[in-house]
Amino acid sequence: MGSEHGEDAAAPLAERLRARGLRLTPQRRRVLEAVMALEHATPEVIGARLREEAGPDGAAPDTSTVYRTLELLDRLGLVWHTHLGKGAPVYHAAEHPHLHVVCASCGEIASAAPDLLDAAAERLAADLGFTVDVGHVALSGTCRACRERTGSEHPS
């Protein structure tokens, strides 16, 4: 049953890399593991995580490597990224597609079932021939807590 850590995760990675004549490096494996472990993490947070995993002595992948690797994993279809508001994009493992819901007030991120937008997606496909990419979608709005607290305002 348990089936989504370290060793397991590296398998598809190795495969896809090989298929493109690319190399499986420890950095790439670590970045992918970090993305899977942290939900909705920004490149910055992922970097920090890798640094603490490595400890004050061990070496963690460089920031530029984290960026390059995230872009690569994205291209390989192993991770997805979403831009929630103005800041950095957040990455999550590609396994279970789901869409993101972000509170514009508190920044809280919630996930919703991927079929939430099925109807809308069909309509867009029919009307504009536009294919919605559920994994990349982010809906912004206000969560219950903030709604009760403030009621208005237009934050980022």
Residue 21 three-state SS: coil
x/- track of binding to DNA for residues 30-59 (CB under 7 A): ------------xxx--------------x
122 touching DNA, by CB under 7 A:
no
Pick between residue 42 and residue 124 the one whose CB is nearest to DNA.
42
Strands 109-112 and 90-93 turn out to be unpaired
Q: Which two tokens stand for residue 89?
A: 């994009």
77-116: which residues touch a copy of itself (CB under 8 A)?
A: 77, 80-81, 83-86, 89, 101, 103-104, 110, 112, 116
Picked from DNA, a copy of itself, none, the partner binding residue 68 (CB below 5 to 8 A depending on kind) is DNA
Q: Which residues of 89-101 are buried (b: 16+ CB within 10 A; e: fewer)?
A: bbbbbbeeebbbb
Contact 87, 122 (CB under 8 A): no
Among 25, 111, 140, 150, contact with DNA (rule: CB under 7 A): 25
Task: Select from 21-29, 96-104, 108-116, 119-127 the region that touches DNA (CB under 7 A).
Answer: 21-29
Q: Which amino acid, one-letter code, is at 142?
A: T
82 touching DNA, by CB under 7 A:
no
Residue 53 three-state SS: helix
Pick between residue 60 and residue 143 the one whose CB is nearest to a copy of itself.
143
Nearest approach, Cβ of 99 to DNA (angstroms)?
20
Q: Which two tokens stand for residue 140?
A: 């912004």
Q: Distances from the Cα of 79 to the Cαs of 48, 66, 92, in angstroms?
A: 18, 13, 6
**Which residues of the chain form contacts with DNA (CB under 7 A)?**
14, 17-18, 21-28, 42-44, 59-65, 67-69, 71, 86-89
